[in-house]
């Protein structure tokens, strides 16, 4: 079996976009149209001949439309193997006519969940007849054409035009695969809602429903947004996918105003920048500069331009070819300053005309604009594939405020030192472990990331700070009188030595090491103030 003529088509869609034009084209080719409910009305209102599904089945649509296509006449017409004598005889005996084309898109379950529909609305938007017909047609793709996406109407019509009212086996096979992907994603969205949504909001209560963030079966539904030029390296292939269901808006949803296509590394680094700068949403103007998923400069200041200057000063060498994220709309002066160095991507919740004009001179710079920053402390899950499986964990949305800090040294930190501690802590949360961050007056002074021991991370941070001072022509490094943040506890007193070598006056760390008393004693001896958070931020 190769090409199959389309003589009868069943159209039943929740998304009516393009269906009337499709029906008109099919009718013009002499195709008999059969339809249901609102789809039939739309086709009939366009002046086209259409047969109601009830005329085919001999039964009216009933139970508020819950039962209309679940009938042997429908599924026999879709599932019958046309070159099987027994199937043909059964069709003739029971008055079942072949259905050659099925056009279906399912009840808008995902959209109903996303808009916050009631439980009753959500349940009513679980499609039963649609997926059943889709699966029947896709299984019998040797003879039946199934189309589930309005974006494929044009290709269907082109196929019919090229083949004189027929479809090829290649087209039907490809559409069948797409149809099963759609029903799989649809079922996944429903399963996810039951497990992660309804289980916690159902009047029965989460305990009765044995709710858990880690269900026995993990179903995921993502749609390909785009194929990328390559992955982390040119010999790797890559693509970006977006969730089928409700999700936070991030880099994939940003509006790209200009610049080359985003690469795999651009997506990864831009996401790291967006997540970090979101920690400062609603606060003073803030800038985060990211290189290879690690921050190399972060600052808050009275103006966005000052924040950029302070962030860049932390490590202007690493900032070359980096990613820049802002916590507020970009202005012209800041955009012009950013354009003074080579920058891969800039992300912001808006940009004024002067900023757009400044960036337009840098054709390769990718400018991404978002409607709003994501909530830094939102709930959610993170996943990582490993050989033989997948790891799933809740997002690191732990947040520490002034009231959560425990002073463990004899010297009490000053108000400014506590502010520097909290700023450094927010940044350290987004630095790859082991992480050490020095910060002062709302700006990073030195960042050490990803070392096998935190003593070396501290040394690197100090070296970077010294280099920054030399480049800027300062008389001393900004680590003098700074706060040092460690993403995990300081296991030995040498962590205090690192802070002292850099000139820090206060340290913030989780605490909880076996040698905490030894570390605290070292801080007391040096006159260093230290606070514990009781929370760590490993990031691998």
Catalytically active residues are 139, 292
* DSSP state string for 359-382: HHT-TT-EEEE-SSPPPTT---EE
For 369, residues 6+ apart whose C-beta sits below 8 A from its C-beta are 254, 255, 257, 347, 348, 349, 350, 351
Q: Is the distance from CB of 193 to CB of 122 less than 8 angstroms?
A: yes
For 74, residues 6+ apart whose C-beta sits below 8 A from its C-beta are 10, 53, 56, 57, 99, 133
Ramachandran class of 472: left when φ > 0, alpha when ψ lies in -120 to 50, beta otherwise: alpha
Q: Is the distance from CB of 241 to CB of 225 less than 8 angstroms?
A: yes
* DSSP state string for 4-36: EE--EEEEEES--TTHHHHHHHHHHTTPEEEE-
What span, in angstroms and rounded, lies between the C-alpha atoms of 272 and 323? 9
What span, in angstroms and rounded, lies between the C-alpha atoms of 293 and 266? 9
Q: Is the distance from CB of 367 to CB of 256 less than 8 angstroms?
A: yes
Instruction: State the number of CA atoms in the 13 A half-sphere of 260 facing the CB.
Output: 13
What span, in angstroms and rounded, lies between the C-alpha atoms of 123 and 109? 8
> Strand 166-167 and strand 145-147: pairing?
unpaired
SS3 267: helix
Tell me which long-range contacts 463-468 makes (C-beta under 8 A, separation of at least 24).
Answer: 464/314, 464/315, 464/318, 465/314, 465/438, 465/502, 467/315, 467/317, 468/313, 468/314, 468/315, 468/316
Could you tell me which residues are beta bridge partners of residue 509?
532
What span, in angstroms and rounded, lies between the C-alpha atoms of 468 and 476? 10
Tokens of 419: 């502010």
Tokens of 404: 């959560």
Where are the strands (E) in 123-234, listed by range?
A: 145-147, 166-167, 222-228
């Amino acid at each position: 079996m190769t090409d199959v003529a389309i003589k009868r088509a069943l159209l039943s869609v929740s998304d009516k976009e393009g269906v009337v034009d499709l029906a008109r084209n099919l009718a013009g080719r002499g195709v008999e149209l059969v339809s249901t409910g609102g789809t039939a009305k739309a086709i009939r209102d366009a002046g086209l001949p259409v047969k109601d599904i009830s005329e085919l089945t001999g039964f009216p649509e009933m139970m508020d439309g819950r039962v209309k296509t679940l009938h042997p006449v429908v599924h026999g017409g879709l599932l019958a193997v046309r070159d099987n004598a027994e199937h043909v005889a059964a069709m003739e005996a029971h008055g079942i006519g072949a259905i050659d084309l099925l056009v279906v898109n399912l009840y808008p379950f995902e959209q109903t969940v996303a808009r916050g529909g009631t439980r009753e609305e959500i349940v009513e938007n679980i499609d039963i007849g649609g997926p059943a017909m889709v699966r029947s047609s896709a299984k019998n793709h040797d003879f039946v054409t199934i189309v589930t996406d309005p974006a494929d109407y044009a290709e269907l019509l082109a196929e019919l035009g090229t083949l004189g009212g027929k479809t090829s086996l290649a087209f039907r096979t490809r559409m069948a695969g797409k149809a099963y992907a759609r029903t799989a994603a649809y079922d996944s969205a429903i399963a996810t809602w039951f497990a992660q949504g309804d289980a916690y909001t159902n009047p029965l209560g989460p305990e009765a429903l044995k709710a858990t963030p880690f269900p026995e079966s993990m179903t995921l539904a993502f749609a390909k947004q785009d194929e990328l030029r390559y992955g982390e390296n040119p010999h790797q292939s890559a693509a970006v996918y977006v969730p089928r269901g409700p999700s936070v808006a991030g880099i994939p949803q940003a509006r790209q105003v200009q610049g080359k296509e985003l690469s795999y590394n651009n997506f990864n680094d831009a996401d790291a920048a967006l997540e970090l700068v979101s920690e400062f949403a609603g606060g003073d103007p803030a800038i985060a500069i990211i290189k290879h998923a690690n921050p190399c400069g972060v600052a808050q200041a009275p103006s966005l331009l000052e924040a950029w200057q302070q962030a860049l000063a932390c490590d202007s060498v690493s900032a070359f070819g980096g990613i820049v994220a802002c916590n507020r709309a970009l202005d012209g002066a800041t955009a012009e300053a950013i354009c003074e160095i080579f920058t891969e991507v800039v992300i912001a919740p808006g940009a004024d005309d002067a900023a757009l004009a400044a960036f337009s001179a840098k054709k390769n710079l990718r400018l991404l604009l978002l409607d709003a920053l994501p909530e830094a402390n939102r709930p959610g899950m993170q996943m990582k594939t490993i050989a033989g499986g997948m790891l799933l964990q809740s997002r690191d949305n732990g947040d520490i405020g002034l009231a959560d800090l425990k002073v463990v040294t004899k010297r009490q930190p000053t108000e400014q030192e506590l502010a520097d501690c909290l700023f450094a802590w927010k940044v350290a949360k987004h630095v790859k472990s082991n992480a050490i961050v020095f910060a002062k007056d709302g700006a990073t002074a030195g960042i050490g990331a990803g070392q096998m021991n935190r003593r070396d991370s501290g040394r690197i941070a100090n070296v970077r700070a010294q280099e920054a001072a030399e480049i800027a022509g300062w008389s001393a490094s900004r680590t003098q009188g700074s706060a040092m943040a460690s993403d995990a506890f300081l296991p030995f007193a040498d962590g205090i030595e690192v802070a002292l070598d850099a000139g820090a006056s206060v340290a913030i760390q989780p605490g909880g090491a076996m040698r905490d008393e030894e570390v605290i004693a070292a801080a007391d001896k040096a006159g260093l103030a230290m606070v514990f958070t009781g929370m760590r931020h490993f990031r691998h």
